[in-house]
Structure 1
């Protein structure tokens, strides 16, 4: 499925390590890079829902087990900017090292925003069935190893539907791709067993905690 979204300019700057420094003409060049990505790249995504026990058989590690603790269903999702993103990045890097970096950062933001759009779609579908969703958890977080990527791509259908593959080092190709796991659990009034911010490996970067909320229903 195509995912309609835009580059978050501030997020792109954060990927570049911007901490409030004066940008000068880089602001205009960043805008060009963002518009280029939005014009030439088409984010696409796929997801597959399965029983939690089936998903955990594919996903080794204690952290992912804790993350989806109490969940009855698990969603495997993948998003990508496709092979066109590889060609765009090669072209821009060849023309200018600086513009290449800017386009790379904007492409990273675009794929992250695409993952957010698909995430929101999954949450809406889950809510219509009386289910709530955890935050995303990707291979490489905590002790969920990158070497699960090949099996993940096959199980989610991302290999066939999106053309994503993994290298011998378990990195995704196209590089501007994201895989992630979302747990689904009964909604209102239900607290997932064992779910606590104090034991979550992504607590420090959790968007819900930043809003004073949690994925399990109690104050952070």
Structure 2
């Protein structure tokens, strides 16, 4: 799979920049990028569903899936259907992170950041494919919204994987705590919004980011920063 692993994104996860990057770190990043590519077995899938909304939940039609939580309901307020997606790098990446954690913590952290950047890049690429389908229906896409974000419960992971049949097709499962296994995996909901919908035109003053936000996996697609506020975690850790 010919998808770029962006060094600047890796450094963002590591809390640095290319300006203060030393030669040893740079070499470790290059080595880790090559190794992540070599051992990863990327798999991804998505399905598109019509939805039915009420004030307390969103039903994914022709499935067992029901979305609850004020944040996901607000996120999909203008959507008429959704894409449900899943991406994984495979179990070998998890094993390698565990291996480096036992022998070289610095390498483990850098390798983890490279893997995270890679799976986000694959997710971006998959989203671009979904966007082409949305354009054919005269729709715009919302940002990706994953379980565990805001008050969108991780428990929904179980049914997302059932709906996508991800255990059989991707080897993707969940733990008793509803955490994805392998850990370098992502599930997300993307809304399809009619391009003709008129949204409120008032501009919201975006609050300044800080370094804690910039290291978050959801920084690029954060709906809270788009609205000029922070998620509950950041509010408690300002």
Which TM bucket (shorter chain)? 0.7 to 0.9
The residue number in structure 2 matching 1:12 is 10
Q: Deviations over 1:125-161 (max 9, x none)?
A: 1112222211111111111111111111111232222
> CA RMSD of the aligned region, Å?
2.6
Matched, 1:84 2:92: yes
Q: Which has the higher contact order (CA 8 A, sep 6+)?
A: 1
**1:58-90 superposed Cα distances (whole Å, 9 cap, x missing partner):** 211111111111211111101000112123223
CA distance 1:176–1:195, shift in 2 (3 Å): farther
What is the alpha-carbon distance in structure 1 between the residues aligned to residue 50 and residue 2 of structure 2? Answer: 29
CA contact under 8 A between 1:47 and 1:157: conserved in structure 2? Answer: no
In structure 1, the residue matched to 2:150 is 142
Cα gap change, 1:134 to 1:197, in 2 (>3 Å): farther
Alpha carbons 1:69, 1:195 under 8 Å: kept = no
TM-score normalised by length of structure 2: 0.76
Higher helix share: 1
Aligned to 2:46: 47
> Which residue is equivalent to 1:190?
197
1:40: Cα distance to partner? 2.1
- State the TM-score, normalizing by the size of structure 1: 0.81
| Stretches of structure 1 lacking an aligned partner (at least 5 in a row) | 210-220
> Structure 2: 5+ residue runs without aligned partners?
53-58, 205-220, 229-238
The total of aligned residue pairs comes to: 202
